[in-house]
Amino acid sequence: MTGEDPRLPELLTRLGSLRQHQRDGRRSPHKPLLMLLALGRLASTGSSSSPWVEIEPLLADLLAEFCPPSRTGRSQSAAYPFTRLRSDGIWWLDHDVPDDSVAPLTTQRVVGRFAPALEAALRRDPELVRSTARALVTSQFPDTVAPDVLAAVGLDPVSVLGGFAGTADAGPTAAVDGQAARRRDPRWRADVLQAWDRQCAFCGYDGQLVGAASVGLDAAHVRWFAFDGPDDLDNGLALCVLHHKLFDLGVLGLDAAFRVLVSATFSARTAAGRAVYGLHGHELHPRPGTVLPGLVHVAWHTREVFKGAPLAA
């Protein structure tokens, strides 16, 4: 486009490089979550301008809900991406403050925003906003969680995901680190459900429509596909849709003895909600011949997804 800032392709590449999140399978979605929040503000207000005093509680809530457990305080966790994204060249602050330092962000009322060339490109092309958001969210979160993240940052999940909803890895095929996007094994879901006798490994739910396939039952990756989780039977569980979502949000987990764990961060008041507590300590009992989840995948989920400590025995 005539008059386009020559730095724009580099800025878009840097924004896309936030997808390169994997280092020994460790999750670090802090920067992508801030970028998604800024995209949401841009889409709703026409500007990514994000005053720290406004964005901090929103970002802190996102990090608490969708990031691995952290021992860092809420404000400190939010200050990390807000200040350090400057080094990527795609995020500007209107004051020069130290990295990770909360006090100056508050006292100087610091405002962050996309770099001007990037902001201009995103503002004039709504599809670029959607495709960027789609690439970020599907590279960081599984299909069960991605729509919740988009809604939380103020983006319409249907608009962003469109035909990609529920098939995150069928999204943009741009190379990451020089490698083409991975494709799912189309047989994996059916194989996992069959291996677990078409019932939830946690609660035993086995609903079916008369004369049709299982309903409300998913094949769940223990180690997420986006984080090098293979489409192998030892990385799959048949889970009802409720327990799949709770598993991907870190409410539920597994220990090395294949017992279900319930996070101590989870609470419920009604009988329906408190039924989740009853899963704690439940041992998996697959049918003979079914492969249990690989311990390496269980360890990844415990480290990267499960929220805090489990309930007391």
DSSP assignment, residue 238? E
Report pLDDT for 72: 80
And the tokens for 310? 């489990």
Report pLDDT for 21: 47
Report pLDDT for 167: 40
Report pLDDT for 115: 93
CB 90 within 8 A of CB 57: no
Alpha-helix runs per DSSP H in the chain: 8-17, 30-45, 52-66, 74-84, 102-107, 116-124, 126-140, 146-152, 157-161, 188-195, 241-248, 271-274, 295-304
Whole-number Å distance between alpha carbons of 7 and 118: 9
Alpha-helix runs per DSSP H in 162-252: 188-195, 241-248
Q: Look-up: residue for tokens 């083409």? A: 180
Report pLDDT for 83: 95
CB 279 within 8 A of CB 251: no
SS3 state at 220:
strand
Whole-number Å distance between alpha carbons of 4 and 281: 59
DSSP assignment, residue 72? S
Report pLDDT for 165: 45
- One digit per residue, the tens of pLDDT, for the chain of length 313 reads 445 666 677 777 778 777 554 556 788 899 999 999 999 999 999 999 999 999 999 999 999 999 887 778 888 899 999 999 998 889 999 999 999 999 999 999 999 999 999 999 999 999 999 999 998 999 899 999 999 999 999 999 999 998 554 443 333 333 333 334 678 888 999 999 999 999 999 999 999 988 778 899 999 999 999 899 999 999 999 999 999 999 999 999 999 999 999 999 999 999 999 999 999 999 999 999 999 999 999 999 999 999 989 999 7
Whole-number Å distance between alpha carbons of 149 and 134: 11
